[in-house]
Structure 1
Amino acid sequence: MAEEKVTRRNEDLLEVIFEISEEKGYAKSRDIAQALHITPATVTDGFKRLQDAGLVNYEPYGGVTLTDEGRCIAERTIQSHTILRTLLELIGADGTVADHDACIMEHGLSPESYGKLLGVVEFIEECCTDPALKKRFEKIVLKKS
């Protein structure tokens, strides 16, 4: 399975390819290089690795598209990032810090752990609609009086 060959760098590439493709309808190496702050040559090397793993369709000097498996990995990585960032923000982390930390933590998060974290976020959000529970949450977790 290609998923076993996916490194953090490859997940980052897949994620950015997905996001740029959703926005523009296609992804070019210069757009990806700019988004990840790496050289176009590094992006091209990444495209070749991803193509060898069956995760993208790549035409030199052209664009790159995700295969179905590449799209699944990109979507799962984005979902993991989103839930981790949301959890960190709920427990009081600054948005920029939460986004940075989520980017580090998103890689390798198992579907089981993702599901558990999603449940925790849903529980916290639901509890915070009750004023008494919200106050208790803020006192215990956020250390507010």
Structure 2
Amino acid sequence: MAEEKVTRRNEDLLEVIYEISMEKGYAKSRDIAAALSITPATVTDGFKRLQDAGLVNYEPYGGVTLTVEGRDIAERTKQSHTILRNLLELAGVDTDVADHDACIMEHGLSPESYDKLMKVVAFIEECCKKPALKKLFDTMVREESG
């Protein structure tokens, strides 16, 4: 399975291809290079690796699209990022720091950990809908931070 061979860099490429494609309907190397602050040549090399792994369809001087497997990996990576960022924000971490840290942590998260974290975040968010529990939770987070 190609997912087992996907590196952090490739996951980042897949995730950005996915995000740009969802926004514009397609992704070009210059857009991806700008989003990741890397050179277009580095993006093109990445496209070739991803195509060899069966994760993208790439036409030189054209756009790139995700295969079904590439889209699955991109969606899971993005969802892992979102869950981790939400968990960090719930713990009182500043949004920018939480986003940066989630980007580091999202790679290599096992399916088991991903599933468990999804449930923990959903539970905390549900508990925080109750004013008394939200107040208790906020007090605990402030005590830990201060």
TM over 0.5: yes
Return the offset for 1:135: 2.2
Q: Distance in 2 between matches of 1:143 and 1:125?
A: 19
1:35-50 counterparts in 2 under 5 A? 35-50=35-50
Farther off after superposition, 80-89 or 123-132: 123-132
Alignment TM-score, normalising by the size of structure 1 = 0.95
Alignment match, 1:52? 52
Superposition RMSD on alpha carbons, in Å?
1.4
Return the offset for 1:143: 1.4
Q: Distance in 1 between matches of 2:129 and 2:66?
A: 40
Q: Distance in 1 between matches of 2:76 and 2:89?
A: 20
Structure 2, gaps ≥5 residues long = none
Alignment TM-score, normalising by the size of structure 2 = 0.95
What percentage of aligned pairs have identical amino acids?
82
Return the offset for 1:82: 0.4
Farther off after superposition, 106-115 or 89-98: 106-115
- May I ask how many residue pairs the two structures share in their alignment? 145
Alignment match, 2:133? 133
* Secondary structure class of the residue paired with 1:49: helix
Q: Say whether 1:121 aligns with 2:121.
A: yes
Alignment match, 2:87? 87
Q: Distance in 2 between matches of 1:39 and 1:104?
A: 21
Structure 1, gaps ≥5 residues long = none
Return the offset for 1:130: 2.0
Report Cα offsets for 1:37-91 as digits up to 9, x if no partner: 0000000000000001000011111111000000000000000000000010011
Q: Say whether 1:74 aligns with 2:74.
A: yes
